[in-house]
Amino acid sequence: MIIFPAIDIKDGKCVRLVRGDFNHITSYKSTPLEQAKIYYQSGFKYIHIVDLDGALKGKSFNSKSVKEIIKHIKIKIQVGGGIRTIEDVDNWLKSGVDKVIIGTAAVEDVGMLKTACVEFKGKIAVSLDVKDGFIYLSGWKRKTNILAEDFVKKIENLGVSRIIFTDINKDGTKKGPNIKDTIELSNKVKIPFIISGGISSIEDIKKIKSLNSSNIEGVIVGKSIYDGDIKINELAEQI
């Protein structure tokens, strides 16, 4: 199982939200590059990065910070936030990221998602941000009437490399992930799933690792690292 320590970037700073609420935002002292170095030096092979300004505004705002990480650290990066076009995907892959995460654009334009999966085989991840079963878009600001269950079935055969499933009700709360709903959704398709939102302890990680689900590829850990609830060396032992 892959453990993805997270870096969420807003205005060039590492931040974390609670339930996607930009009115409940915490900034941290480490720069994105400094935080990435901590992860790399601790032995992690992957990082999950989200450009929160990009997610809100529909275009990349923090590419400079991400490219600094790419330049200085040899680590596999999956990046999302504000990626709306094939050109956006192409630019990120040329810059050296491992996978590109498409969220809002994937839901609004399945044709574009299909094209991306064909042109960049094995490099496209889809982010599903879900609250009470329904998908939310644009940095979790817009609710749709699309059920996550219906959407994953719709995209099952397009060639998506992984789905990042975030329960908005759990994200940033450190109250434990929504394992039940993630497992139920992942069992409906053959696309690998990444669990995101609510990780509170090493016990959560161990529980996910012990799941008898071949479709759970990994887990994203964010706020609990920054706040010290999960010690980075203890998390690294779970790699």
Domain boundaries, the chain: 2-236
pLDDT at residue 22, rounded to an integer: 79
Ranking 158-162, 164-168, 191-195 by mean pLDDT, the lowest is 164-168
pLDDT of residue 122: 98
142-146 long-range contacts (CB < 8 A, ≥24 apart) are: 144/107, 146/107
d(CA 60, CA 80): 9
> What pLDDT does residue 36 have?
98
- What pLDDT shows up at residue 66? 97
Can you give the pLDDT at residue 118?
A: 98
**Separation between Cα atoms, residue 47 and residue 106, nearest integer Å:** 21
Query: What angle is formed at CA 122 by the lines to CA 121 and CA 124, rounded to 5 degrees?
Result: 95
Give me the CATH code for the 2-236 domain, please.
3.20.20.70
Compute the average pLDDT of residues 174-192: 92
**Catalytic (active-site) positions:** 8, 129
Mean pLDDT of 27-35: 95
Question: Taking the CA atoms of the chain, what radius of gyration do you get in angstroms?
Answer: 16
Provide the percentage of residues in the chain whose pLDDT is more than 90. 82
| pLDDT tens digits, 84-93 | 999 999 999 9
Average pLDDT in the chain:
94
Is pTM beyond 0.85? Reply is yes
Q: What is the mean pLDDT of residues 111-129?
A: 98
d(CA 187, CA 163): 12
Q: How far apart are CA 78 and CA 125, in angstroms?
A: 8
Residue 174's pLDDT band, with cuts at 50, 70 and 90, is confident
